[in-house]
Every structure is written in C-alpha cells, then in structure tokens.
Amino acid sequence: MKLRALTLDLDDTLWPIAPTLLRAELRLHDWLLAHAPATAQRHGIEAMRALRADVARRQPQLAHDLSQLRRLSLVEALAASGDDTALAEPAFEVFFAARQEVDLYDEVGDALDRLASRYRLLAVSNGNADVRSTGLDRWFSGSVSARQAGVAKPDPRIFALACEALGCAPDAVMHVGDDHAADIVGARAAGLHSAWLRREPARAGQWQVDPDAPAGTGHHWVIGDLAVLADRLLAG
C-alpha cells in the first residue's frame, strides 16, 4: 500500500463530541441569560436541542450545514420569546467559539505527531469544528467540511474533494473515522482505503483487517485507537 495521505474525521475520532457540545451549549445558555433572558427561560439546553432537531427536519436541504441550522434555531428561539432576532449571530459566535474548545483523546497528540511526520493529514468532517481554532493546524494541512463540499459524508463527492485538495489519487489515501456509515462506507465508495476507529475498551491497542470489507477494494482495517494506526503505518 503506497499511501501518501490520510484524511481523518474529527468528532468522536480525535475528541469526544458530547462534552464538547455540552460545554458550548452551557456557554450559550449563560450568554442568553445575560442578553436574552426570555429566550433563556423558555429554551433551556434540552429545549434548544429539540428545536434544532426540528429545524433540521424542516430544512433537510441544510443537512450539510450545521452552523446554519444552529443560526436558524437561534432565530426561531429568539422570535418565539419576543427577543431581538439580531442577537442570533452574536449568540451563535459564543456557541461556535466554545465548540472549538476540544479535549483530545489521550493518545491522539502523539499519534498525530508520528503520522504527520510521514503523511499529509486532512480533516474531513460533517461537523463545524475549525482546524485552526481547535489547534489542529499543527498537524493538518487543511480541511474539507460538509458545508464547504455542499454534501455530507457518506456522499463520495466529499471524499473526492478531499483527494483533490491533497493532490492524491483515492488509492493513495486512507480515511480514518468512527462512524461506519458516514466514514467507512463513504470512503470505500470513493475508492479510498479505510480505518474504522472503534473506541471500545476491549479494542484498545488492537488492529485487524476488517473481515466485512469487500474483496479487492483496497486496505480496510478496524483499529482501537490512533496509536495502533501509527504503529501499523510507520512499521515499514
């Protein structure tokens, strides 16, 4: 396998997303308490989550743009509470800034140091984490987001755009991610190699060839963490 580059998912691959989002939601709620108290009282964190999910159902054409869905949710929450809808943008900025405060899984920093010493790394995400704001730009040459691509994983077009950004053919790229449907099925359909990251205690430090991967479609692995991926790729 003559790999030249790796594409990596971000949320739940490099850091846990649930505490990241909760911190951002709490930061947003505190801001609303100070600047739009009626909205904060009417829309607590759970209510805001439900509203955002409802907006996403009503706006399926925006499934690739989580930032815009969040903005629209804030506009609706403010309007329903009688607050100034112009506050939606500064409220979003508060959420977005906090959303970039991520806590990497323990092995990620060292593994990325090692992987970046041999391969170009590119982030490919359906989310709205920013490579520079999260501090990932020390390892990553750039990113391709669903918002930028106009489609979300598993659509093969986002992987094709990533390969174009890297200047690599698909068979010279391995995609790494935790979501089988979005990351692994999508990468395989686009002709990339894949590494399915399954962060389960029993799999820590483990590597195997994916027994369910179609024959003749490239190298497809199951890994327990990024350290074992670095071990495997840099062994030769």
| Closest-CA residue to 56 (of 72, 79, 40, 39) | 72
Burial track 55-92 (b if 16+ CB lie within 10 A, e otherwise): bbeeeeebebbbbebbbbbbbbbbeebebeeebbeebb
pTM, to two decimals: 0.94
CB 193 within 8 A of CB 214: no
pLDDT means per 10 residues, the chain with 236 residues, are 94 98 98 98 97 97 96 98 98 98 98 98 97 96 96 97 97 98 97 97 94 90 97 89
Specify the length of the chain in residues: 236
From the CB of residue 176, how many other CB atoms can be counted at a distance below 10 Å? 25
Each residue's pLDDT tens digit, 117-171: 999 999 999 999 999 999 999 999 999 999 999 999 999 999 999 999 999 999 9
Cα 101 to chain centroid distance, Å, stands at 13
The pLDDT, as a whole number, for residue 169 is 97
Report how far residue 218's alpha carbon sits from residue 195's, in angstroms, rounded to the nearest whole number. Answer: 11
Domains of the chain with bracketed CATH: 5-16+104-233 (3.40.50.1000), 18-99 (1.20.120.1600)
The pLDDT, as a whole number, for residue 236 is 63
